[in-house]
Structure 1
């Protein structure tokens, strides 16, 4: 049984759709939360694991904005 970590590219391919969906979920709350949105998003991102996935969601948020 291999314990090798998947390559970064493989990880991104595997989780891209989930990262996009998560970013869309976060953006959907922007109008509702208005000025409270940014701290709320920061907290949501902080809770995402692993950190590589949280970074993917951050990039998607930037891309969608």
Structure 2
């Protein structure tokens, strides 16, 4: 039986948030090199649905930091 999208999201939400925070915290360290680095980190995440969750959470953190 395949896992529903909602179940997958619920099961992996905390991990995706933690991963996004870990990636976001490197922004100050890597500065100009961060964008390429973070793109490669997200690209390596599997499955794609999880990578998308991390990407969305990272976008949310970016938005919060800019406001």
- TM-score, with structure 1 as normaliser: 0.92
> What stretches of structure 2 of length at least 5 have no aligned partner?
63-67
Q: Which is greater in Rg? A: 1
- TM-score, with structure 2 as normaliser: 0.90
Q: Distance in 2 between matches of 1:16 and 1:36?
A: 27
Bigger share in helix: 2
1:23 and 2:20 aligned: yes
1:46 and 2:40 aligned: no
Aligned to 1:35: 32
CA drift at 1:27: 0.5
> What stretches of structure 1 of length at least 5 have no aligned partner?
none
CA drift at 1:5: 1.4
Q: Which runs of 4+ in 1 moved over 4 A?
A: none
Aligned length: 62
